[in-house]
Amino acid sequence: MRYGYFDDERREYVITTPETPYPWINYLGTEDFFSLISHRAGGYCFYRDARLRRLLRYRYNNVPTDVGGRYFYIHDAGDVWSPSHAPVGAPLDVYECRHGLGYTRIAGERRGVRADLLFFVPPGHTAEVHELRLRNTDSWPRTIKVFSFVEWCLWNAHDDMTNYQRNFSTGEVEVDQGGSTLYHKTEYRERRDHFAFYHVNAPVKGFDTDRESFMGPWGDFARPRAVVEGASRNSVASGWAPVASHGLEVSLAPGEEKVFVFTLGYVENPRDAKWEGDKTGVMNKTRARALIESFSRPEQVEAAMQKLSAKWTNMLAQYTVTSPDERLNRMVNVWNPYQCMVTFNMSRSASYFETGIGRGMGFRDSNQDLLGFVHLVPERARERILDIAATQKADGSAYHQYQPLTKRGNNDIGSGFNDDPLWLVSGVSAYVRETGDWSILGESVPFDNDPDSAAPLFEHLRRAFGHVLGNLGPHGLPLIGRADWNDCLNLNCFSETPDESFQTTGNRQGRTAESVFIAGMLVAVAPDYARLAEHVGQGAEARRARAAGKRMAEVILEHGWDGDWFLRAYDFFGNKVGSKENDEAQIFIEPQGFCVMAGVGVAGGQAKKALDAVKERLDTRYGIVLNSPAYTRYHVELGEISSYPPGYKENGGIFCHNNPWIMIAETVLGRGDRAFEYWKKIAPAYLEDESEVHRLEPYVYAQMIAGKEAARHGEAKNSWLTGTAAWNFVAISQHLLGVRPDWDGLRVRPCIGAEIGRYTVTRRCRGAEYRIHVKNGGGGRPPRLTVDGKPLDGDLVPYAPAGTTVVVTCEA
Ligand code: BGC
Ligand code: NOJ
């Protein structure tokens, strides 16, 4: 069942009913000011940090679901409704939500009044703009009352939901321009130099800034007293819960349309210019007024929307495909890269599954996200790499997380996730391949943010690679530490006490537990690392690295091979994990994917066996599960993985993040048909018809889909902020459609199966544009290429000078 459709022309997903299975959201903002907005206008916004600078209050996990947002109420001769359906819930004659690139439009119509809402964050500004277009679709004149409503969060989102003994006394506001501008200035009198405001570009009938006055005693979002009675209270909040609501009266002749622009802004003042002249207590509003001025007319809104649209058009032009499969096109051209950019902006902080108050930036997460956005924003990827590297420890290990505002490693979690260092090598390799900017290797970067320790970035990579090689276990495989990619495989933490962390409660100092996944990863990155080493003149180091990669591949085949597939690990006691000897979880997805991607066992036939075992034991109708059979009881020596009921999360869930490793591995064996089958199983656009099962947005990936042992097989959770976005983009764009930036040219090697016969990829890279016309016979054999009409030896199209266009044909 569907709840909407893709409008490819406008790059929008159109939701046609407010009753989707779950809030289906979008993100606004591309720079410093960001918003989450659901199809019912729920959500919140923040300036840079979702925890510390949150503007709007949002109630996670509430009943009804999705409470808090930018709400509009219409009072039409006693009839009260909301164009976004929420919060009033009155039935609408017309409802439509269009989530687009950085904007959301919601239209609602009832009894002859149509309201079109547009929400977006204009580039270059720290504000959400809400444009409200009201039209009388009837044949008689009418006068309606319109109320806007937002509820302020008292900045620190965690404090805001816990510290009521203080918070109920701190709230402060200012009312300006007769109520057209409502300011929120809680804590401005003391250490904050920032404030927020909600403005409408019209005179108001009344306003409210105190929640209870607006709601009435025991009132609620659906039926606030001011709205029901049709009269604002002109309340001025003092403590309790400050809100901002404008009360407007609008007369509309038959067919007439009126447009209002609301600006929800964030402003910072210099500390010595906080107040208006010497009037202590009255905020200096100069900057707010300038921001208000920028969006006081609909033409300005239109111009800002065009700017936003152009920004996305330009970004997305880096990689586009035209194929006969419209679902493939829309995933590759619009929605997958869009989600990659959202992971760039948010990391794992704020979604409808992450509250914005918990996790910082992940070391491995950020490096993987980079694989998906490096071609969209290369300069910002460079900055991101340098930030990440600056949190690396001097011994080459890495803090698992860092805080976005301070950019410092997070001590609570610390280090010891032994795959982390290698992801930095992957991130840097991807960046250099994309840009050709080798200079980044010489960039001076501190360790652990200590300026005295600064060294060239390459030295960070050397220590990263060295750290993994320097920490091998009894079989010569890398030690796992607290966990590897699978955060829940905690082989050195025997947790028996509730409320302690599975990852960080270090009660064993093991030097036994080893990871075949990290081993595969080391083999995969060794040639890249060697290539980087050669570039900086460290030939001996490059040779050592290549040799180490080769040796590790042999160790994997000797100690990491279980007969029909790759083992997952050795535990604290040296017992096998992910082996046919185990009674539960005999096979795991991660090593099958990464070892084959690295080329291990391709020549000897093990790779094929491993992938066939994946097909046989892990594949389901909705994707490939992480392990099988799922653990049914808690294994203290394995950790969090066995804490999940079978079929969920890392215990037998379909992790959409590592399904693409298997897709890529299949392309290594030339099995494009199978790779494409796997891709389509989890690509959200292909799940649209089953939205009642999948339940989450059909335009973005979720981290997890419930596996075969789960009661709700096929149901997705945790959409948007997941490494799934980056890896699926890498798989489909670089390995299946087969256009991949390499060190010296674009590698063109399609492997997508016979289903997609002909397609064209347009790729911009290093300033040149490549139009690659593929005639695809199914893959698996070496492609035959021409470049500007001339036959090419091999599959590497040399990079062309910036500004040129190259025409490539490819028969595969
Ligand atoms: C989740 C993992 C996540 C980890 C982060 C676990 O509960 O299952 O997916 O990476 O928490 O701390
Ligand atoms: C989510 C984490 O953010 C990611 O780093 C990890 O690899 C997966 N969970 C799997 O545990």
Q: What is the mean pLDDT of residues 356-370?
A: 92
Nearest CA to ligand 2 atom 10: 486
Report which bound ligand comes closest to the CA of 721.
Answer: 2
pLDDT(332) > 90:
yes
DSSP letter, residue 641: G
Range 676-698 average pLDDT: 98
CA of 535 to the centre of ligand 1 (A): 37
Measured CA to CA, the distance from residue 364 to residue 427 in angstroms comes to 9
Hey, which of 423, 484, 488 would you mutate to test ligand 1's pocket, going by the most ligand atoms within 8 Å of its Cβ? 488
Among the atoms of ligand 2, which is closest to the Cα of residue 364? 5
Is residue 779 pLDDT above 70, yes or no? no
Structure tokens that stand for 225 in this block: 């007293």
Known catalytic residues are 487
Neighbours of 126 (CB within 10 A): 24
pLDDT of residue 418: 97
Residue nearest to ligand 1 atom 2, measured at CA:
487
Task: Select from 347, 650, 658, 721 the residue to mutate for testing ligand 1; criterion: most ligand atoms less than 8 Å from CB.
Answer: 650
400 lines ligand 2 (CB under 6 A): no
Torsion of CA 151, 152, 156, 160, to 10 degrees: -50
Contacts of 156 (CB under 8 A, 6+ apart): 51, 52, 54
**Is the separation of the CB atoms in 458 and 429 below 8 Å?**
no
Distance 96 CA to ligand 1 centre (A): 35
Q: Candidates 487, 627, 655: which one to mutate for ligand 1, based on the most atoms within 8 Å of Cβ?
A: 487
Residue 799 confidence (pLDDT) above 70: yes
Q: Would you state the pLDDT for residue 781?
A: 81
Ligand 2 atom index nearest CA of 650: 11
Residue from 366, 485, 490, 589 whose mutation best tests the ligand 2 pocket (most atoms within 8 A of CB)? 485
Cα of 585 from ligand 2 centre, angstroms:
19
Nearest listed ligand to the Cα of residue 651: 1
Nearest alpha carbon to residue 759 among 319, 101, 312: 319
Using alpha carbons only, what angle is made at residue 719 by residues 319 and 487, rounded to the nearest 5 degrees?
100
Across the chain, mean pLDDT equals 97
Instruction: Reduce the DSSP state of residue 226 to 3 states and report it.
Output: helix
Smallest CA separation from ligand 2 atom 5, residue: 365
Q: Is 364 in the pocket of ligand 2 (CB under 6 A)?
A: yes
Cα-to-centroid distance, 370 and ligand 1 (Å)? 20
Residue 367 confidence (pLDDT) above 70: yes
The number of the ligand nearest the C-alpha atom of 359 reads 1
Q: Which one of the ligands is nearest to 640 CA? A: 1
pLDDT, tens digit, 9 for 90 and up, residues 728-773: 999 999 999 999 999 999 999 999 999 999 999 999 999 999 999 9
How confident is the model over 703-725, as pLDDT tens digits? 999 999 999 999 999 999 999 99
Q: Kindly tell me if the per-residue pLDDT of 659 is higher than 80.
A: yes
- Taking the CA of residue 501 as reference, the ligand 1 atom at the shortest distance is 12
Is 482's C-beta closer than 6 angstroms to any atom of ligand 2?
no
**Closest among 30, 27, 11, 97 to 333, alpha carbons compared:** 11
What does the pLDDT look like over 446-475, one tens digit per residue?
A: 999 999 999 999 999 999 999 999 999 999
Lowest mean pLDDT among 160-164, 408-412, 646-650, 796-800: 408-412
**495 Cα–ligand 2 center, Å:** 19
Residue nearest atom 10 of ligand 1, based on CA coordinates: 487
What is the mean predicted confidence (pLDDT) over 156-161? Answer: 97
For residue 66, the CA-to-ligand 1 centroid distance in Å is 23
Q: What is the pLDDT of residue 605?
A: 98
Those residues with Cβ within 8 angstroms of residue 162's Cβ, 6 or more apart along the chain or in another chain: none
Atom number in ligand 1 closest to CA 649 = 8
Per-residue pLDDT reduced to its tens digit, 398-435: 999 998 778 889 988 899 999 999 999 999 999 999 99
Please give the DSSP secondary-structure letter assigned to residue 521. H
Residue 484 Cβ contacting ligand 2 at under 6 Å: no
Mean pLDDT of 40-54: 96
Tell how strand 12-15 and strand 25-28 pair up: unpaired
Which ligand 2 atom is nearest residue 485's CA? Answer: 7
Instruction: Give yes or no for residue 487 CB within 6 A of ligand 2.
Output: yes
> Which uninterrupted H or E stretch holds 459?
helix 457-469
> Interior CA angle at 223 toward 221 and 228, to 5°?
135
CA 770 – ligand 1 centroid, Å: 40
Gap between the Cα atoms of 42 and 63, Å rounded: 13
Nearest ligand, CA 502: 1
Atom of ligand 2 nearest to the CA of 368: 5
Q: CB under 6 Å to ligand 1: residues? A: 487-488, 640, 649-650
Nearest CA to ligand 1 atom 4: 487
> What's the gap in Å between 332 CA and the centre of ligand 2?
23
Print the SS3 string covering 128-188: EEEEEEEEECCCCCEEEEEEEEEEEEEECHHHHCCCHHHHCCCCEEEEEHHHCEEEECCCC
Ligand 2: centre distance to CA 229 (Å): 50
Cα separations (Å) of 423 from 340, 419, 578, 635?
17, 7, 23, 29
Residue nearest ligand 2's atom 3 by CA? 365
Reported for 610-619, long-range contacts at CB under 8 A and 24+ positions apart, including other chains, are 610/564, 610/565, 610/566, 611/662, 611/665, 611/666, 611/669, 611/671, 613/564, 613/565, 613/587, 614/565, 614/587, 614/589, 614/662, 615/674, 617/586, 617/587, 618/587, 618/589, 619/678
The model's pLDDT over 86-105, given as tens digits with 9 standing for 90+, comes to 999 999 999 999 999 999 99
CA of 98 to the centre of ligand 2 (A): 31
Q: What is the rounded CA–CA span in Å between residue 481 and residue 459?
A: 23
Distance 354 CA to ligand 1 centre (A): 11
Is the beta carbon of 472 within 6 A of some atom in ligand 2?
Answer: no
Q: Which atom of ligand 1 is nearest to the CA of 703?
A: 9
Length of the chain: 812
Evaluate: CB of 348 within 6 angstroms of ligand 2.
Answer: yes
Q: Which atom of ligand 2 is nearest to the CA of 359?
A: 3
The protein residue whose alpha carbon is closest to atom 12 in ligand 1 is 487
Q: What is the pTM of this model?
A: 0.98
> Best mutation site among 349, 351, 365 for ligand 2, i.e. most ligand atoms within 8 A of its Cβ?
365
- The ligand with the least distance to the CA atom of 644 is 1
| Contact status, residue 466 vs residue 525, Cβ threshold 8 Å | no
Any ligand 2 atom below 6 A from CB of 639:
no
Q: How much is the average pLDDT of 77-85?
A: 98
**How much distance in Å is there from the Cα of 233 to the middle of ligand 1?**
47
pLDDT tens digits, residue range 481-504?
Answer: 999 999 999 999 999 999 999 998
Write phi, then psi, for 773 (nearest 5 degrees): -100, 115
For the chain, percent of residues with pLDDT exceeding 70: 100
Average pLDDT over residues 114-134: 98
List beta partners, residue 402. Answer: 361, 409
CA 592 – ligand 1 centroid, Å: 21
> 579 Cβ partners below 8 Å, 6+ apart?
562, 567, 568, 586
